[in-house]
Amino acid sequence: MDPVLCSIADAARLLGIGKTKTYELIDAGQLATVAIGVRRMVTVESIKRLAKGTGLDEAA
């Protein structure tokens, strides 16, 4: 089974950007997150959509 969530640091690394920019994308609604306890995880699907150039708004 492929992972469905990753850490913010891993998401930044996968996208080739810094953590600050990753948080900006989260705040802008371009990356979806899930809270698990005190951790905030990024959905791999939202990373794929961002990499394809389609945002969360267009995916719905």
List all residues 6 or more positions away from 17 whose beta carbon is below 8 Å from its beta carbon.
Answer: none
Instruction: Output the furthest CA–CA distance in the chain (Å, rounded).
Output: 30
Query: What is the pLDDT at residue 53?
Result: 85
- CA neighbours within 13 Å on the CB side: how many for 49? 17
The DSSP letter of residue 31 is S
Query: What is the pLDDT at residue 58?
Result: 54
Give the chain's domain count.
Answer: 1
Please say if the pLDDT value at position 60 is more than 50. Answer: no
Which tops the pLDDT comparison, 53 or 33? Answer: 33
User: Which domain does 22 fall in, by range?
Assistant: 5-59
pTM, entire model = 0.84
- For all residues of the chain together, what is the average pLDDT? 91
List all residues 6 or more positions away from 32 whose beta carbon is below 8 Å from its beta carbon.
Answer: 42, 43, 45, 46, 56
Q: What is the mean pLDDT of residues 48-57?
A: 80
Q: Residue 11 maps to which CATH number?
A: 1.10.1660
